[in-house]
Every structure is written in structure tokens, then in C-alpha cells.
Structure 1
Amino acid sequence: MSTAVEQITGTDGKQRAIRVLLVDDHEVVRKGIRLLVETFFEFEVFEAGSAQEGVALATSGTYDLILMDARMPEFDGIWAIRQIRQTDKELPILVLSTYDTEDYVDAALEAGANGYVLKESSTEQLREAVDTALSGRGLYLHPAVAQRVFVRGRRSNTRNEDSLSARELEVLQLLSEGATNHEIAALLFVSEKTVKAHLSSIFRKMSVTNRTQAASKAIRERIVRSTRE
């Protein structure tokens, strides 16, 4: 099964396979996921059996994507994401979990995850999540997770929403759907320079530093609607 991003250019300028760090304390589950990722995506997979080991490997090695279990003994995946984000704000991290409760999802997104995928996901859903994370096109939520999160309804009159202009809300909505600057510009009939200016204003008002953080916060605080709602 191919993905939108199959290889990446290394520091030596040569193409190489995408390197995935898989963090899960259950060995049988970990081996199964590894086999799936290696077989269907043809990625190079490295394993960590605990959150501590995952953090150590993530901060000392070179990886293009992390698949992180949410619940692990002693230190969990949420803790691990927070530790990794202290030194790397951009490395794509997908939470891969059996738990779909709001507490886990909200904590993962707040910690800096780029998406939340259930272990019951189909290979096509996993492919979509991986593509979204690797391409930086917004935030991925498994459909069941999205439904559970958004059924609470959109909050009204939040401080962030009130401070954003109508145009900024449009940009934020498209950003959260995974649109690129070029696509946003085309859809709103403005220049990419204007889109970048709107994004700078959005980031400042929302107290975030990048697209993923903005999309995550917008979804958590119900400022935008999810396409999977």
C-alpha cells in the first residue's frame, strides 16, 4: 500500500525509506504493528518498549514519524510526547491507542500529537493518518474519536474565537481541514502572502507557533468544525 510520502531525502541528499519509531509496551502488539507498517508502507521501523525508551530514542536518533501508544505503565505516551516536544516541535507524532475517551484524546492533542488513531483502524485509515502527519496537512482524528469529541458541541463565545476575525476563522477552518497555503489562497481568492499574514495573526492570537498547534487547539476548543464530525 503506497502513501503520499514514500521516501524522504536524507542529510546526504540521497533518497531513503521513511524511518518510524514505534513505542508500545506490549511486545505482541508492537510486533504486529511493525509487520503491518513494514509490509504495507515499506517503512523502516524501530521499536521502543516503554515511554522512557521512546523518549531516549526519539531525542537521540533521526526519525520521520513516531507511532505512540497512549497508555503504558509508569510513564505513559502523553508524558513521552511532552518530553519530545521540549526539543522537537515538528516531528510528526501519531497516537495509536485502544482508548477513545475524551480525556486521552484531549491530553494527547494538548501535549502536541499530530493525530489520534485507534488500533482497530483499517489499513486505509492508518494510511490516511500517516499521510496527514508526514505531509503536515493538519490534524488527523479517527472517525470514531472525532464523533466522540465533537458530539459535545462547539463552544460558544470562547475568548480565542471572539478575537479572530471572520476571515481568520475561514483560514483556520481550512487549515484544520489540511489545506495548504496555496489551496487556502485559491479557495478564498487571495494571495499566499495574505494567507501567511492571516496565519501569523492567528498564531499570535491563539498563542501557538505552528499549523499543527493551531489546528489542534481549534479542534479542542470547538472553534472549527471537523470534516469527520
Structure 2
Amino acid sequence: MTTLFIVDDHKIFRESLAELMTKQGFKVIGMAGNGKQLLELLDKSIPDLVIMDIAMPEMDGCEAAKIAMEKYPNLKILTLSSFGDEKYYYLMINAGVKGFVLKNAGINEVKQAATEILEGGSWFSAELMKSVINSMNKKTTTDASVKLSERELEVLKLICKGLTAEKIAEELNLSHETIRTYRANLLSKTGCSNAPALVLYAIKNRIIELG
């Protein structure tokens, strides 16, 4: 059974989410009210997935994610977000967070996001990403200096759909190692640190569009 930590400073929210996720077949093995408490839990056991808020007292989700990912690089984190948290998204992504779900999302979306991340993919709420990109577009321009090949664009678009390297290899009838090479080239050319950052890059530069 897939194990979870739930981290949120509102007790009623984390307990309600724990109950809902348990009904979806997950096993909640730890809950925390802030990032500091999460790190203490991680010193005792590592769950399959951490579902964590950003804005919390003592230690917020950004700092906790950064410290946790440095110490446990294979840890998977799904962030619970509010529209007011846009300024933290890049920090969370650079720390290694695999996805974002709005707090007003239904339990089915949370389950789907968790499943995608556990399978090696990523997940972004479309509504949330529109808000982030609108905010980014007011401050930045697209980067015309980066030239991607047709195959690199093809791989990037599949990454943006949340596909793992294995699924992309199957989709394009290429080897897993070839896809890993394309992914490494994309990260190098764009200056991104991971797949979620590539998703933001692709949307910001209008390589893909949110419907």
C-alpha cells in the first residue's frame, strides 16, 4: 500500500485529507503542521509521497522541500497550493517538487496527481498554471535564443503531458537511454533543473498552451 505524509498547518484540513486519501487506498503514516515537523518525521521513516502545503509557520514548504530533497533526493513531494503562492512556485520546483494541486481541487484530482508522481511523472493543476503563467508573462518575455530540434520539441511536449521517460520511449519508439539523452539536452539548453521546470519553460515560451 502506498504510504503518505500529509503536511499542513490546519489540523482539520490535514485530518480530512488523510481520511479522504485513506478511502482512496493510500496509507497515511505521518502528519505534520509545518516543515520542521516534516523533517523530524523523515528522520524516522520515508513515505512514498509527501503532500505538503507551502505557507506554514516556523518552516514553510519551500525551505522544508529544499532541505528534504537535499537529504533524501529520491523523495517525492506533491504541493498543495493557493493562488497567492505564485512567487514560491519556482523555488519549490527548483527544490525538486514534482507537482502542484490547488487546495480547492477534488479528491479525484489529488489521487490522480499522486498516482502520476508515484509513477515517475509530474502533475500541474491547469487552473493554477494559468495563474502562474499570467503572472510570469507580466514580468518576463519569451526566450528566443534557445533553439530546439523537432525531436527535442516532441520530447518536451510529452514531458509536459506528465509522461515518464519509459512512456515517452514507448510513444516515440526510441530507447530509454535515447530519451534520457534528449531530456538532458533539454535541461542543458533551457537552463532548467528538472522536468517540472521544463513544463513552466514550455508554457512561458508558448511551446505548449493550456486549454
TM-score (norm 2): 0.83
Structure 2 alignment gaps of length 5 or more = none
Residue 89 of structure 1 pairs with residue 73 of structure 2:
yes
Structure 1 alignment gaps of length 5 or more = 1-16
- Aligned-pair distance for 1:64? 0.4
Secondary structure, counterpart of 2:58 in structure 1: coil
Q: 1:141 aligns with which of 103, 120, 124?
A: 124
Contact (CA 8 Å) 1:146, 1:226: kept in 2 or not?
no
Tell me the C-alpha RMSD between the 2 structures: 2.6
- Aligned-pair distance for 1:144? 1.4
Secondary structure, counterpart of 1:41 in structure 2: coil
Q: 2:184 aligns with which of 186, 200, 207?
A: 200
Following the alignment from structure 1 to structure 2, what is the Cα–Cα distance between the partners of residues 194 and 118? 34
Contact (CA 8 Å) 1:114, 1:140: kept in 2 or not?
yes
Contact (CA 8 Å) 2:8, 2:52: kept in 1 or not?
yes
Contact (CA 8 Å) 1:37, 1:45: kept in 2 or not?
no
Number of residues of Structure 1 aligned to a counterpart in Structure 2? 206
Contact (CA 8 Å) 1:24, 1:49: kept in 2 or not?
yes
Following the alignment from structure 1 to structure 2, what is the Cα–Cα distance between the partners of residues 220 and 76? 22
Contact (CA 8 Å) 1:50, 1:72: kept in 2 or not?
yes
- Aligned-pair distance for 1:101? 4.1
Secondary structure, counterpart of 2:194 in structure 1: helix
- Aligned-pair distance for 1:217? 1.7
Contact (CA 8 Å) 2:119, 2:164: kept in 1 or not?
no
Deviations 1:27-58 (A, max 9, x none): 11121111111122332331112210101212
Q: 2:142 aligns with which of 125, 139, 156?
A: 156
Residue 32 of structure 1 pairs with residue 32 of structure 2:
no
- Aligned-pair distance for 1:176? 2.4
2:53: which partner in 1? 69
Percentage of pairs with the same residue: 26
TM-score (norm 1): 0.77
Secondary structure, counterpart of 1:86 in structure 2: helix
Contact (CA 8 Å) 1:19, 1:64: kept in 2 or not?
yes
Deviations 1:1-38 (A, max 9, x none): xxxxxxxxxxxxxxxx2111111121111211111111
- Aligned-pair distance for 1:118? 1.4
Q: 2:160 aligns with which of 167, 176, 183?
A: 176
